[in-house]
Amino acid sequence: MSRIAVTGAAGMLGQDVVAAVVAAGHELHALTRADLDVTDADAVQAHFAAAPADAIINCTAFTDVDGAETPEGEVAALAVNGIAAGHLARAASATGAHLVHVSTDYVFSGTKETPYVESDPVGPRSAYGRTKLAGEDAITGVSPGHAIVRTAWLYGAGGPNFVSTMLRLAGDRDEISVVTDQIGCPTWTGDLAPVLVEIAARRQGGIQHAVGDGAVSWHGFAQAIFEDAGVACRVLPTTSDAFPRPAPRPAFSVLGSERDDHIPLPPWRAGLRAHLGAGTTIGETP
């Protein structure tokens, strides 16, 4: 049994990681933003010096992708996604803890036509992606032995996500237009969380990718959501040009792995069905 600290414990992913730590029989040390300000280097060092853990799973993140595109937004995102990751890496190294940090597909340009693997060159196109890459660099600068887990298209019961948004919209509309030109790997937090805990317990290090198995467009994902939820709502095809956003989205966000010790997640469609079976309902607040 290990003592595992979870930062960002109240977030969408953090809530499932907390549950996964307990389910695996480890001792849990859950930390919300109110418990620990990860942007405060002194506070982070002092906290883990006083309450050391065998592993730290960092689920804290600034996830407002469009909000990060303003100068003020990028500064705020960098403080959490980049600089704070370095604080946690230094505190983990000082106390012998193993850090597992959650990163993103947005560190890639999205222009490749085959799945991105861990050794592929990075090239973020958005401020959010730049700040997440800064976090990866901060961690590897402290110790390449810590784990950086890139994931994508996250959804779960504990926060705003595409699945709940689609179900809410379907409660008011007969048809919805969704883009066909963005391809990725929908990943249920309920599937990702136990993998993060296993990586922490095994003390696996370096960069690794962890996403729902398989790939689909947002359009195809929306169709699957309505089909599996038993919702009669048409999904019309459209393109990203019809929905201009401040931050560019990667056109191809499919992640694969070249690691021999890769821990696979279930197929994305199985994750969706498990999520819907856990109680997601039409009209859920996104």
The share of the chain scoring above pLDDT 70, in percent, equals 97
Q: Is the pLDDT of residue 260 over 70?
A: yes
In whole angstroms, give the CA distance from residue 71 to residue 263.
37
Residue whose entry in the numeric block shows the structure tokens 């933003």: 33
Residue range 94-144, pLDDT digits in tens: 999 999 999 999 999 999 999 999 999 999 999 999 999 999 999 999 999
* Residue 1 banded pLDDT, cuts 50, 70, 90: confident
Q: Which residue has the tokens 């969380």?
A: 193
Average confidence (pLDDT) over 236-249: 95
Which of 1 and 3 is assigned the larger pLDDT?
A: 3
User: Taking Cα atoms as reference points, which of 64, 112, 74 lies closest to residue 250?
Assistant: 112
Instruction: Say which of 106, 116, 128, 155 is annotated catalytic.
Output: 128
Residue 244 DSSP label:
-
Confidence at residue 279, expressed as pLDDT on a 0 to 100 scale: 53
User: 72 near 115, Cβ under 8 Å?
Assistant: no
* pLDDT reading at 283 higher than 90: no
| 155: annotated active-site residue | no
pLDDT category, 282, cuts 50, 70, 90?
very low
Q: Look-up: residue for tokens 């280097």?
A: 41
Among left, alpha and beta (phi > 0; psi -120 to 50; other), residue 269 is alpha
* DSSP SS3 for 180: coil
Distance, in Å, from the CA atom of 73 to the CA atom of 67, rounded to the nearest integer, reads 5
Q: What is the reported pLDDT for 284?
A: 36
Predicted pLDDT of residue 208: 98
pTM listed for this prediction: 0.95
What mean pLDDT is predicted for residues 142-151? 97
Q: Tell me how far the alpha carbon of residue 151 is from its chain's centroid.
A: 5
Q: What is the mean pLDDT of residues 195-221?
A: 98
Q: Which domains does the chain have, with CATH numbers?
A: 3-160+185-213 (3.40.50.720)
How does the average pLDDT of the chain come out, rounded? Answer: 95
Q: Collapsing DSSP states into helix, strand and coil, what is residue 194?
A: helix
DSSP bridge pairs for 5: 29, 56
- Report CA torsion sign: 127, 132, 137, 139: positive
Cα-based distances in Å from 53 to 5, 28, 98, 277 = 6, 9, 8, 34
Each residue's pLDDT tens digit, 32-66: 999 999 999 999 999 999 999 999 999 999 999 99
